[in-house]
Structure 1
């Protein structure tokens, strides 16, 4: 079993198929089924983390999409089972316990969908709901008044940077 290393928007991080991507391929005057091995690099990924980084690169989350799947270019008739062609790749599921901006973190060996016909919708987001956890800053002294004042300052800074309260209250372990 692989060590669960977090995926990130970086050209050497890849998603690849574990079985053949069978596409309709022109051969003479007919279209035949041909198996290909497809892959995509995460360097051109979209909908990645804006605030969480791994080794200086944006975190690849459950909601992220990798673009430009390669390896099946001759299969211009698109996929036999799923009608994708040089399209998107996405993770099917990620970590159950580690989140980045409210979306599950994707790790090495998490299941993925390669060559999806489109980007798909927005994945489930884990918000803080109505039970907001206060932001506790180091060295706050722990007094309720002091914590409230510092929380107000942090929220004001977050507003300047365009962050929501949910983003400010994220706790990733």
Structure 2
């Protein structure tokens, strides 16, 4: 992952689902592609910045309100949610920010997760 960039609370970074979010819509499961713009991130670093934006931290930062599954009012088949948060799964093994691993552009995230 040497070519990956550090992520931050910045709209230039967008999370895009690799698999659809299957939600119940009108009584049937319907697949929805979902995305997240990282400018909606919360709980980012208070004092470390990348390109002038707060750094995104593993196991602390999250992105609120995925877009794309709004019609799935019956909630996600797996997650039990819709229009919820995303948080990182992948992380740097060697770079830490405020005691938390750094998250990079190629790291996987869990999308449409239950809010804490």
Task: From the CA coordinates, give the structure whose radius of gyration is larger.
Answer: 1
How far 1:7 sits from its partner (Å)?
0.5
- Can you give the 5+ residue segments of structure 2 that lack an aligned partner in the other structure? none
Structure 2 residue aligned with 1:95 = 92
Deviations for 1:23-42, whole angstroms, at most 9, x for unmatched residues? Answer: 0011xxxx101001111111
- Can you give the 5+ residue segments of structure 1 that lack an aligned partner in the other structure? 120-173
User: How many equivalent pairs are there?
Assistant: 115
Higher relative contact order, chain-length normalized (CA < 8 Å, sep 6+) = 2
Instruction: After the TM superposition, list the runs of 4 or more consecutive aligned residues in structure 1 that deviate by more than 4 angstroms.
Output: none
Task: Provide the alpha-carbon RMSD of the alignment.
Answer: 1.3
SS, match of residue 43 in structure 1: helix
Structure 1 residue aligned with 2:13 = 13
Structure 2 residue aligned with 1:79 = 76
User: For residues 2 and 32 of structure 1, do their structure 2 counterparts lie closer, same or farther at Cα, with a shift above 3 Å needed?
Assistant: farther
Structure 2 residue aligned with 1:4 = 4
Q: Name the CA distance, whole Å, in 1 between partners of 2:2 and 2:115.
A: 29
Question: Which residue, out of 46, 53, 60, partners 1:57?
Answer: 53
Q: Name the CA distance, whole Å, in 2 between partners of 1:70 and 1:3.
A: 28
How far 1:2 sits from its partner (Å)?
8.2
User: For residues 82 and 49 of structure 1, do their structure 2 counterparts lie closer, same or farther at Cα, with a shift above 3 Å needed?
Assistant: same
Q: Which has the higher helix share?
A: 1
Q: Name the CA distance, whole Å, in 2 between partners of 1:96 and 1:52.
A: 18
Q: Which has the higher strand share?
A: 2
Q: Name the CA distance, whole Å, in 2 between partners of 1:3 and 1:23.
A: 35
The normalised TM-score by structure 2 is: 0.94
Deviations for 1:120-159, whole angstroms, at most 9, x for unmatched residues? Answer: xxxxxxxxxxxxxxxxxxxxxxxxxxxxxxxxxxxxxxxx
The normalised TM-score by structure 1 is: 0.64
Q: Name the CA distance, whole Å, in 2 between partners of 1:84 and 1:38.
A: 13
